Structure 1
Amino acid sequence: MKLPVKVTTALFACGVLFASLTAAVPAAAAAISCTDTDLPVSGPGLPPLVPGAPAVVHGRLCLPAGDAPDTVQLLVHGGTYNSAYWDLPYEPQRYSYQRDMAAHGYATFAADQLGAGRSSRPLSLPLSVWAAAESMHEVVGHLRAGRVGGVPFAKVVIVGHSVGSGIVAVEASTYRDVDGVVLTGITHLPALPVLALGAALGLQPAFLDGQLGTLGSDPLYFTTKPGARAGLFYAAGDADPAVIAADEATKDQVSVPGMGTVALFGIILPATWGITAPVLQVVGEKDVLFCGVLALRDCSDAAVLRAQEAPYYADPSKLSMFVLPGAGHSVALHENADEYRNATRSWLQDRVGIAPQGYHSIGRN
């Protein structure tokens, strides 16, 4: 029995359409490529596992499909975090900074700071802001030399969060080896009473923590107490409880001496005065640690906040400001974090001259 010509044609067309759709699925799934690597760096006070071996910074490189971009963002997490802050294992299409940037044509390398994640864990006492900044300077060198993913990146933009922003400020002002700087989760006048209360009630030695106690950390590595992250890092009404749970599950430790030197020399004094590259500063409107009356900072308006922060930069014309409405301290993990990422991409294009290289649907490797 022969089928009518029209029916045969329709079936053929459907077959072609189905084949094209199924062929597109692997391409979309492979749009984003993420690979992990370890990089040798200087490690203060670190007894090497192998005599003479260097310390190691672990990190994850995420690239869009096609030719690798010539620019990479070096991502530096905050205290009690690790690189999972930039690639949270929960709804990555909404909360992963790395995968969203790759989907929009930007490369990122999220590093575990020394003492956290899968990087080396030196003694906490010598792990100062200068030691941490030196290790990130060495990572910048590795990125430019093509030792990460085989890609010699011509430009590096360094991005920090909270304590990581203080380290980034010291790195950028000391070595002047980056093309742009993004500082998130800080202002130059922290709400000291809130920070002190948060530290007293919300932190504990990592070796006493049920989740991190097996790391064998020395007594000056601290982490957050169970349940403390919600109040310290998030604003009610703009945070998904499942995100906070994922944050809690991936939390890490921070060196108390390192955190102290970051606060004093990286943020308050400040190191930002020596930065010569364009700077984007990002703050959550309801960040209780760095905004409000106790911090003498009005985070409800980006223009007002920029005027308050501008005196801490040698060239205020290079400072851009973005306030994420309704968000708390950890801006990358709030429900409207896409606004912050969009603002970062606009700044990269408008102020640093870095355009995306391709646009690809988000994928999982």
Structure 2
Amino acid sequence: MAPINAISPLLLAGFVAARQCSNFLIPVDISSRQGQFQQVPVESNLDVGAFATRFNEYQKNYTATLLQGYQNLQGSYKISAQYCHPDNGSSSTIQLLTHGIGFDKTYWDLDYNNYNYSYVNNALENGYSTLAIDRLGIGNSSHGDPFNEIQAQAEVEALNAVTTKLRNGGISQIDHSYKKVIHVGHSFGSVQSLWLSALYPNNTDGVILTGFSAATQFLSYVVAGWNLHSARLNQPLRLGNASSEGLRGLAAQYGVTQDVVPRLQRFLEDAGADLTSQEVWNIVASTEVLDLIAGYNKTVAPLNYPSGYFASSDLTSLQYAFLFPGNYDIGLAVASEQTKQPVTAGELLTIGSAPKTSPFKGPVFVITGEHDVPFCGGNCYASVPNVTAPSFLTGVKAAFPSASAFEAYVQPGAGHGLNFHYNATAGYQAIQDFLAGNGLAAR
């Protein structure tokens, strides 16, 4: 296992040919009918832990407890996007990529190991253009009140607004319109893609759901396993306040940087501890020490998330929720921990509000890792109690009774975060093959 300073995602990124990509902001206006929640204390990590405890209480509904009524949210926001098209020009078909909780748009275009895990590259190789977005409230998209603004419904409306602009040529940085828009989601992004297809079935041409099933009973597993912290406290410089110059000065004074392993090893040796560099690396990478140093060298513009934005505690909680042990590169896992993103209180309180069925009449493909915890409880081949479907994934078909084609695919040996596993590209190609076989080949 390499030392932590040898596996920086920036050092392992490389130049990838046969693609043209640009990053920009897309202005959107949305109107969303959504909940008005009582705001409870979420300032400290203990407050956040208390929120998670109440959220997970058996046979109780914390959403209903905090719900005070409904509101019509109207606002103008900006959605951060990465647009890519093949070197030989843009096709008339584009894949609109929506990430899940804990990530941002880079989930689809991981630069680790010369972009070997990039979904975007696979789509481009098959002739598609892509638009990957940071969901409303996350990453470089507009942030907002974490209880009563950044909720699932508002994010779906923002996704629909971006979709409409793709169709009518309303994005100034893209010089033409797209006749066909395929919605590709991961996890919460899949929930939102299904949701869009239910509310606006004529605004999508194909639905690809990754890291998804119709099961909802395992959400508490993940919320507990995340060991949620306040995002601004978990990674204070990257996710917190831009005024943290005191912390940055201390980091420089004590050498808390990406080369912390040899420094910490010398410190421990001076204190009488006998630890190898590998053991020190394990301490740093697999505990919250990693999160305290993340961003000291990389942060340019801190994201300044307010209280009410939560983050998983460390790499071990990331592994539990997203990764299957033995089938992922630890260097990529460390990189993902260094670049993780939060979830809002409002998202957790409204994630269960998605429609159960969609009238969408086009093709639908669901692909989920064999050992997915959030949507299969760790076993996607398991039969579903009291349901006629033979497995969790095949059960998704009931949500799309009018689909022109439906296919469920279990990715062997993978966990929830499909894109982080060694066999990710095999799953990518299964998606492209399904699209090509069901009238949505790139043209």
- Using the size of structure 1 for normalisation, the TM-score is 0.79
Aligned position for 2:42: none
Unaligned regions of 5+ residues in structure 2, if any? Answer: 1-14, 33-73, 242-302
Give CA deviations for 1:107-159 in whole Å, capped at 9, x if unaligned.
Answer: 11000111112111121122222110100001001111222421311100011
Deviation at 1:317, TM superposition (A): 5.7
Q: Which residue of 341, 348, 361 maps to 2:435? A: 348
Q: CA RMSD in A?
A: 2.6
- Aligned with 2:427: secondary structure? helix
Deviation at 1:238, TM superposition (A): 1.2
Q: 1:197 to 1:111 in 2, by over 3 A?
A: same
Aligned position for 1:223: 311
- Aligned with 1:279: secondary structure? strand
Q: Which residue of 152, 155, 165 maps to 2:180? A: 155
Deviation at 1:259, TM superposition (A): 3.0
Q: Which residue of 145, 153, 158 maps to 1:135? A: 158
Aligned position for 1:258: 347
Q: Counterpart of 1:323 in structure 2: which amino acid?
A: V
Deviation at 1:161, TM superposition (A): 0.7
Aligned position for 1:19: none
Deviation at 1:196, TM superposition (A): 4.0
- Using the size of structure 2 for normalisation, the TM-score is 0.66
Aligned position for 1:165: 190
- Aligned with 2:375: secondary structure? coil
Contact 1:44 1:127 in 2 (8 A): no
Give CA deviations for 1:254-293 in whole Å, capped at 9, x if unaligned.
Answer: 222123312x122xx52x4333332111110011221148
- Aligned with 1:55: secondary structure? strand
Aligned position for 2:239: 212
Give CA deviations for 1:171-218 in whole Å, capped at 9, x if unaligned.
Answer: 11101201001111121113245234224x2x2121212241233323
Aligned position for 1:280: 365
Q: Counterpart of 2:418 in structure 1: which amino acid?
A: V
Q: Which residue of 62, 67, 72 maps to 2:94? A: 72
- Aligned with 1:289: secondary structure? helix
Q: 1:342 to 1:29 in 2, by over 3 A?
A: closer
**More displaced stretch, 224-233 vs 341-350:** 224-233
Q: 1:261 to 1:151 in 2, by over 3 A?
A: same
Contact 1:279 1:320 in 2 (8 A): yes
- Aligned with 2:372: secondary structure? coil
Aligned position for 2:40: none
Count of aligned pairs: 315
**More displaced stretch, 232-241 vs 247-256:** 247-256
- Equivalent-residue separation in structure 1 for 2:381 and 2:129 (angstroms): 36
Unaligned regions of 5+ residues in structure 1, if any? Answer: 1-27, 46-51, 358-365
Contact 1:189 1:296 in 2 (8 A): no
Deviation at 1:219, TM superposition (A): 2.1
Aligned position for 1:59: 81
1:1-365 matches, within 5 Å, as 30-42=17-29, 54-125=76-147, 126-146=149-169, 147=171, 148-176=173-201, 177-190=203-216, 191-199=218-226, 201=227, 203-210=228-235, 211-214=238-241, 215-227=303-315, 228-262=317-351, 264-266=352-354, 270=356, 272-292=357-377, 297-298=382-383, 304-315=391-402, 318-351=405-438, 353-356=439-442
- Aligned with 1:273: secondary structure? coil
Q: 1:154 to 1:240 in 2, by over 3 A?
A: same
- Equivalent-residue separation in structure 1 for 2:31 and 2:397 (angstroms): 34
Aligned position for 1:49: none
Deviation at 1:53, TM superposition (A): 8.8
- Equivalent-residue separation in structure 1 for 2:133 and 2:334 (angstroms): 22
**More displaced stretch, 279-288 vs 249-258:** 249-258
Deviation at 1:347, TM superposition (A): 0.9
- Equivalent-residue separation in structure 2 for 1:53 and 1:261 (angstroms): 19
